[in-house]
Structure 1
């Protein structure tokens, strides 16, 4: 079964829009796990416009499933991750002004940088994953860095699938096949939803984990968080 990690950034966005501590991100993480989520994902950015660095520390003692921290490994991020020691760190090359993640790493161009960062995390017993586009050369480049896993950037698939183009899954299938052959674990995320997750799961061999936030929270506005988490878990079986 592919694990579901719930990204709670949008809960922090809602909290920050009003001030105070409602909704409480720590309580939401506890509830999401109680409803069946097998992991909690956060993606703190330098401007702290949603998840704050303090949230990352506050969540540490209450995430009893898998704790996944995503982000660009700037010094402040590195320091935080090495102090918290989450289950997994996912390296994402987002720029400071990006609204959301919009590209994977160039694992060939940045091989030396990624290799050094990944070595530091692995020396601290933190599983590593690299956010990558569905490109065979980038998968090979990721393997060369020593990472444990890749996270396939799925926005293109999600958009094309919504237009009825199921062939959009093909490059992801090819990349998954190569990753499996190279003994790289496979995660996936970005714009996956109740509409497309089952089809994606059925076609990606060896899919270990999906990280879902925006769609899951939006769907929960209509159906409720517990119901939606249960629906994802059912589709991921």
Structure 2
């Protein structure tokens, strides 16, 4: 079964909007795990506009499944990951003021940098993943960095599916097959939803994990958090 890692950035955004502790991020994370999710994802940014660095430290102590920390490996981020020791770190090339992630790594141009950073994390037995576009060249480049996994950036697929076309799945199938041949584990994330996750899962047979946040939280406003998590788990079987 493909694992579901729930990105809780939006929970932190809601909390921060009032300056208090409602909703309580730690309690929501515990509930999400109780509801059946197999992982928790956070993406702290330098301005801490949603997940704060202190949140990451606290979650490192209480998450009982797998904690995945995403982010651009600036010095502050690297220090945080080494301190928290999550199960997985996902390297994302987002700019400091990016609203959300909008591109994968150029693993060819940045090979030496990524290799150096990944080496630091692997010395601490932290599983490493690189956020990449579904391009064969970038998958090949990722394999040369020493990464354990890649995370396919799925916005392109989600947009095509929403417009009624399923042809956009093909680059992801090709990239997934190459990753498997190279011994890279496969994750996926960005704009995956209850509408499009089943078809994606059915066509990507070696999919280990999906990270879903924005859509899952939006869907939960109508259907309830526990119900939505179980709907995702059903589609990921």
Secondary structure of 2:61's partner?
coil
- Normalising by structure 1, report the TM-score: 0.99
CA contact (8 A) 1:177 1:205 kept: no
Give the CA deviation at 1:218: 0.2
Say whether residues 1:157 and 2:175 are aligned partners.
no
Residue 209 of structure 1 corresponds to which residue in structure 2?
209
CA distance in 2 between partners of 1:205 and 1:135 (Å): 18
Say whether residues 1:106 and 2:106 are aligned partners.
yes
Give the CA deviation at 1:195: 0.1
> What are the within-5 Å matches in structure 2 for residues 1-237 of structure 1?
1-237=1-237
CA distance in 2 between partners of 1:46 and 1:110 (Å): 21
The alignment yields a C-alpha RMSD, in angstroms, of 0.4
Following TM superposition, where does structure 1 have runs of at least 4 consecutive aligned residues deviating by more than 6 angstroms? none
CA distance in 1 between partners of 2:162 and 2:68 (Å): 28
- Normalising by structure 2, report the TM-score: 0.99
Give the CA deviation at 1:97: 1.3
Q: Give the unaligned 5+ runs of structure 2.
A: none
State how many pairs are aligned: 237
CA distance in 2 between partners of 1:89 and 1:98 (Å): 19
Give the CA deviation at 1:36: 0.1
Give the CA deviation at 1:136: 0.2
CA distance in 1 between partners of 2:10 and 2:212 (Å): 11
Deviation readout 1:180-203 (Å, 9 max, x if unpaired): 000100000000000000000000
CA contact (8 A) 1:3 1:209 kept: yes
CA distance in 2 between partners of 1:126 and 1:2 (Å): 20
Give the CA deviation at 1:205: 1.9
Secondary structure of 2:193's partner?
coil
CA contact (8 A) 1:187 1:207 kept: yes
CA distance in 2 between partners of 1:122 and 1:170 (Å): 32
CA distance in 1 between partners of 2:135 and 2:25 (Å): 35
CA distance in 1 between partners of 2:26 and 2:59 (Å): 6
CA distance in 1 between partners of 2:45 and 2:196 (Å): 27
CA distance in 2 between partners of 1:48 and 1:194 (Å): 28
Give the CA deviation at 1:60: 1.2
